[in-house]
Amino acid sequence: MHVLTATRKLALAALCTAILPLSTASAQQATEIQISYSNGQFQPHEVRAPADKPVVFRIRNLEGKAMEFESTSLRVEKVVTAKSQGVINVRALKAGRYEFYDDFNEKARGALVVE
């Protein structure tokens, strides 16, 4: 019984050793973009990311009310409550310009430029 348990432990350790670098490499491939929202505007209002890599948006809502980060072209929407932060994961994108806005205040607009 001890031999089987030891064999299973070794197999599990080998599997974890093989998978961990893959998950770490995947996480490192994402481009992180930080945006704040205050006075009814995104700052910065235009951000850039490399093509063919996933993007992680970290949105800090500094307002006293909720906002909704929305983009038809990115296929995302997320409500970020007042005085909090939201995280949005976006698939790898082709080169282009991707518009986003606050669905509660459509005058607040921004863009992600993928090159």
Tens digit of each residue's pLDDT (9 = 90 or more) over 47-95 = 999 999 999 999 999 999 999 999 999 999 999 999 999 999 999 999 9
* Domain region containing 68: 30-114
Q: How far apart are CA 53 and CA 1, in angstroms?
A: 47
Rounded Cα–Cα distance for residues 74 and 93 (Å):
9
> Does 60 fall in a domain?
yes
Residue 85 lies in a domain: yes
- Residue 14: inside a domain: no
**What's the pLDDT at 3?**
54
Give the pLDDT band of residue 29 (cuts 50, 70, 90).
confident
Give the predicted TM-score (pTM) of the model: 0.74
**What was the pLDDT predicted at 106?**
85
The answer as to whether 70 is a domain residue is: yes
Q: For residue 55, give Cα distances in angstroms to 8, 37, 44.
A: 37, 18, 16
Look at residue 26 and tell me whether its pLDDT is greater than 80.
Answer: no
